[in-house]
Amino acid sequence: MKPIYKYGGTVALLFIVALVGLTWPVSDPTPAGPRTHAAPADLIERGRYVATAGNCMGCHTVRGGTPYAGGRVLRTQYGNFYTPNITPDTETGLGKWTADEFWQALHLGRSRNGQLLYPAFPYPSYTRVSRDDSDALFAYLRSLPAVKQRNPSHQLQFPYDQRVLLRVWQRLYFAPGSYVPDTRESASWNRGAYLVEGLGHCAACHTSRNELGATDAHAGLTGANLIGLGWYAPSLSASIGTGLGTMPQQEVATLLKAGVSYHSAVFGPMAEVVSGSLQHLKDDDVDAIARYLKSLPAQEHDVDAAPTLPEDERIGTMALGKHLYEQNCASCHRADGQGVAGKYPSLAGNPVVVGGSAVNAIRIVLHGGFPPATRLNPRPYGMPPFEPTFTDKEVAAVTSFIRNAWHNRASYVSPNEVDAYRAVPES
| CA separation for the pair 373, 259 (Å, rounded) | 8
* Rounded CA separation 134/129 (Å): 7
The pLDDT value given to residue 21? 45
70 vs 356, residue with greater confidence: 70
Fold matches, 187-295 and 311-420: yes
Phi-psi category of 307—alpha, beta or left, where left has phi over 0 and alpha has psi -120 to 50? beta
Query: Could you give the percent of the chain with pLDDT greater than 70?
Result: 87
Question: Residue 424's Cα: distance from chain center in Å?
Answer: 18
In order, the DSSP letters of 257-294 are HHSB-SS-B--HHHHHHHHHTGGGS-HHHHHHHHHHHH
pLDDT-derived band of residue 208, with 50, 70 and 90 as boundaries? Answer: confident
The CATH class that applies to domain 311-420 reads: mainly alpha
Least confident span in 33-37, 208-212, 228-232, 260-264:
33-37
What is the crossing angle of helices 131-143 and 40-53, to 10°? 100
In one letter, which amino acid is 101? E
Question: Which pLDDT score, from 0 to 100, does residue 131 have?
Answer: 96
Strands 79-82 and 73-76: antiparallel
- Single-letter residue type at 57: M
Give the pLDDT confidence of 21-76 residue by residue, as tens digits: 444 444 454 444 444 444 589 999 999 999 999 999 999 999 999 999 999 999 88
Q: What is the mean pLDDT of residues 101-112?
A: 96
Which of 8-12, 356-360, 385-389, 414-418 has the least mean pLDDT?
A: 8-12
pLDDT-derived band at 209, boundaries 50, 70, 90: confident
d(CA 212, CA 194): 26
First-residue to last-residue Cα distance in the chain: 11
Domain ranges of the chain: 11-24+33-173, 187-295, 311-420
pLDDT (0 to 100) of residue 136 = 97
Mean pLDDT confidence for 106-129:
95
pLDDT > 90 in the chain, percent: 66
Burial of 134 (0-12, 13-18, 19+ CB in 10 A): buried
Radius of gyration of the chain (CA): 22
The CATH class of 187-295 is mainly alpha
Cα–Cα distance measured from residue 221 to residue 204, given in angstroms and rounded to the nearest whole number: 9
Q: How confident is the model at residue 175, as a pLDDT?
A: 92
Residue 16 is predicted with a pLDDT of 39
Is the pLDDT reported for residue 229 higher than 50?
yes
Report yes or no: 89 and 146 within 8 Å, Cβ to Cβ. Answer: yes
SS3 of 332-356: HHCCCCCCECCCECCCCCCCCCCCC
- pLDDT for position 225: 86
Give 258-306 pLDDT, tens digit per residue: 999 887 889 989 999 999 999 999 999 999 999 999 999 887 644 444 4
Work out the number of other CB atoms within 10 angstroms of the CB of residue 241.
20
Q: pTM (2 decimals)? A: 0.86
Q: Looking at the predicted structure, is the pLDDT value of residue 255 above 80?
A: yes
How confident is the model at residue 424, as a pLDDT? 63
Residues 414, 78, 360, 425, CA torsion sign:
positive
What is the average pLDDT across 390-415? Answer: 94
Q: Are 74 and 120 in contact (CB under 8 A)?
A: yes
Average pLDDT, the chain: 87
